[in-house]
Amino acid sequence: MLQLFSEHILSKLSFLKNARLVVAISGGIDSVVLAHLCKKLGFDFALAHCNFSLRGDESDADEEFVIKLGEDINVEVFSQRFNTEAYAKENKRSIQMAARELRYDWFKDLAAQLGFDYVLTAHHADDNLETFLINFTRGTGLNGLTGIPMINDNIVRPLLPFSREVIEAFARENNIEWRDDSSNSSRKYLRNKLRHEVVPILKEINPQLLDSFESTLDNLNDTADIVEESLNAVAKRAIVEINENGITYKVSEFKKVNNSRAYLFEMFKEFGFTEWNDVVKLLDAETGKYVQSHTHKLTKHRDMLILTNASHSVPNPRDVSESYLINDLNSTEFSIGTLSFEMVSESSNNTGSSIYINKDKLVFPLELRLWKAGDVFCPIGMTGKKKVSKYLKDEKLTPYQKVNTWVLLSEEKIVWVIGHRADERFKVTDSTSNFLKIEILTTKH
């Protein structure tokens, strides 16, 4: 049984072997099995437990269980209490959403502060199938049907290909103890209904259901990549101008495609529009006609569509092909803000708005420009190269954020995907002697 897991993990996720890991653990069977598995595989890991304080004594008992487990298997435990209800109220989230945000934010902090490379979670194939069915039952689109990713940035899910059945068998075989979660939230109710009433019938129809499901997800993820590519391509061709107030699009590019509505929807859905028939009609409307959402306005102007914040007037055009050459460490102003440089005596953590690099790796002049198709970089903390397009997709940026993402380059190598991720090749190491802090101050709008 151990072999089944270890073969998968050591072949598909071999990078976990030499990394520092933190295992997200609730005390339930899945995460407890994952912890034991990491122990058996000799991984370098700690446990991280969130106490969401939602089930009183039971929550506390879960926490104690995890601390005890850490002692038993001789692994460090980090535990954090959250006032989930207060957070949910304050931020207008559902309890489930609030817990999710709190959990992932804390994991990210923990990983950054304590130098962990990856956070492991215990999602498995049945979780994935249930999520698919929940989304489908509620009504969704392709994005709701592509499943949970096995690797998403520094979150890794080693149990994703395995069924609940196999995990339970492993727990029995190894006399593993765990805590059952007695909560009966509506989300659990839904999952239980699907788990006990729907999935067994589907498995009766197709005993290889989980394998078929895995290949369906592979296919749909490939399709999602193609869609992403197409949206980026059409956006690149359609967008002629971006400035601080908005974006200008060529109408002709939306007319060339075989389904204008599909592209308009994907491109503008994030701006709160709901009247898609009206948006489609704009393509043939007179100059001055517009469609408005709560936050944005899409205006027909000659053969262009101009997207503005609802409160702004039509912006002045700016060329998207603009590019700046940076010859020295003076600040550079550009359309989204100011890029500044500062020699500092020591390095600190990178944030969304500032990074620390080894100044000696830079070759001037640097180039500052919008990212473009084909751009590749080495995301710091990860092995290997990644296409910027793929990175921005995985980060789930909105189309607006995507087209408005800038990169800083030295000798055509990306130093920083600005506001998002530094590059491994310029990072500070033990032998670095000249520390350069680069910061972006974005223009508020």
**89 contributes a contact to its own copies by CB under 8 A:** no
Q: Which stretch binds its own copies (CB under 8 A): 59-67, 188-196, 338-346, 357-365?
A: 188-196
Residue 72 or 303 having the CB closest to its own copies? 303
**241 contributes a contact to its own copies by CB under 8 A:** no
Do the Cβ atoms of 34 and 158 come closer than 8 Å?
yes
Among 58, 225, 270, 367, binds its own copies (CB under 8 A): 225
Residue 10 or 142 having the CB closest to its own copies? 142
Contacting residues for 14 by C-beta, under 8 A, at least 6 apart: none
Helices of type H across 74-197: 84-90, 95-114, 125-138, 164-173, 186-193
Cα 353–Cα 104–Cα 18 angle in degrees, nearest 5: 85
Residue 49 Cβ vs its own copies, minimum distance, rounded to whole Å: 31
Give Cα 15 to chain centroid, integer Å.
Answer: 20
Residue 22 or 125 having the CB closest to its own copies? 125
- The Cα 11–Cα 26 span in angstroms is 27
- The Cα 193–Cα 189 span in angstroms is 6
Residue 392 Cβ vs its own copies, minimum distance, rounded to whole Å: 10
272 carries a ligand binding annotation: no
Residue 252 or 338 having the CB closest to its own copies? 252
**228 contributes a contact to its own copies by CB under 8 A:** yes
Q: What is the CA radius of gyration of the chain?
A: 25
Do the Cβ atoms of 42 and 10 come closer than 8 Å?
no
**363 contributes a contact to its own copies by CB under 8 A:** no
30 carries a ligand binding annotation: yes
Residue 276 Cβ vs its own copies, minimum distance, rounded to whole Å: 10
- The Cα 387–Cα 289 span in angstroms is 39
Contacting residues for 147 by C-beta, under 8 A, at least 6 apart: 128, 131, 132, 217, 220, 221
- The Cα 49–Cα 77 span in angstroms is 7
Hey, how many other C-beta atoms are within 10 angstroms of the C-beta on 373? 11
Among 215, 274, 313, 398, binds its own copies (CB under 8 A): 215
Among 12, 108, 390, 425, binds its own copies (CB under 8 A): 390
Among 128, 350, 389, 404, binds its own copies (CB under 8 A): 389
- The Cα 36–Cα 278 span in angstroms is 57
**202 contributes a contact to its own copies by CB under 8 A:** yes
Given the structure tokens 């080693």, which residue do they identify? 158
Among 71, 115, 138, 412, binds its own copies (CB under 8 A): 138
Residue 148 Cβ vs its own copies, minimum distance, rounded to whole Å: 17
242 carries a ligand binding annotation: no
Residue 140 or 338 having the CB closest to its own copies? 140
Among 56, 115, 139, 384, binds its own copies (CB under 8 A): 139
- The reply to whether omega before 200 is within 30° of 0 (cis) is no
Residue 37 or 194 having the CB closest to its own copies? 194
Residue 44 or 225 having the CB closest to its own copies? 225
Segment 257 to 296, residues that bind its own copies, using CB under 8 A: 257-259, 261-263, 265-266
Given the structure tokens 């491994």, which residue do they identify? 424
- Pair of tokens at residue 381: 């903390």
Map residue 316 onto helix, strand or coil.
coil
Residues near its own copies (CB under 8 A)? 133, 136-142, 145, 190, 193-194, 197-198, 201-202, 204-206, 209, 211-213, 215-216, 219-220, 222-223, 225-231, 233, 256-259, 261-263, 265-266, 373-374, 387, 389-390, 393
Annotated binding site for ATP: 26-31
Annotated binding site: 26-31
